[in-house]
Amino acid sequence: MAQINLLPWREAHREEKKKQFLTQLAGVCILAVGAAFLWIQSVEGSIENQRTRNNMLQTEISQLEKQVQEIKDLKRKRRELIDRMKVIQDLEGKRSIIVHYFDEFAKAMPDGVYITSIKRTGNNLSIRGVSDSNNRVSTLMRRLDKSEWFSEPNLKSVEAAPKHGPQSSIFRMQLKAILPLDEQNRVTKK
């Protein structure tokens, strides 16, 4: 048998396989780097797109929050205006009531009784005055009790006042100012 030396052929074949392997390895690495680069670019593009959307949403949210705050301010101002209107309507409806009180008080006043001060706290009236006699104070109390504008007259004190006359006295009285039913209905309708 003849001797054939296949060693150089194997060496060349091995070198060629090695070159093919390195070429394929370099191609795969280039493809992997290219694919990674494209993937990174795609992800960064998506992130940038999401940031743009987030910024747009933040801008819209801030505009909506401003509008919500404006609406709250408008509602508060509306509530204040309604409260003011209600106060004005109440005052307008009740402005003639004080005239009725004074008119009724003047009608109840007998001769010989003089009022020196009237103080009103809520619906309670404190009255101080001078009377020619105790009978005239009793007459005033009866008339005030019969009035539909006053109730519960209560005599607090009576003191002799000789400087005003021989039978004169200084008195203190308390009573309540009330609204008659027809006047209450008229005020609430306005």
pLDDT at 182: 58
pLDDT at 98: 77
pLDDT at 105: 79
Q: Do the domain assignments include residue 68?
A: no
Q: Do the domain assignments include residue 64?
A: no
Q: How many CB atoms lie within 10 A of CB 177?
A: 19
Q: What is the pLDDT tens value at each position of the chain, 190 positions in all?
A: 567 776 787 888 899 999 999 999 999 999 999 999 999 999 999 999 999 999 999 999 999 999 999 999 999 999 999 999 988 887 776 677 777 788 887 888 888 888 899 888 888 889 899 998 888 888 888 888 888 888 888 888 888 877 877 878 889 999 888 877 655 555 555 5
Domain range for 144 is 97-189
The total number of structural domains in the chain stands at 1
Among 111, 134, 165, smallest CA distance to 173 is for: 134
pLDDT at 65: 96
What is the number of H-type helices and E-type strands within the chain?
Answer: 4, 4
Q: Take residue 77 and report the two structure tokens written for it.
A: 């101002």
pLDDT at 54: 96
Q: Do the domain assignments include residue 144?
A: yes
CATH number at residue 175: 3.30.1360.100
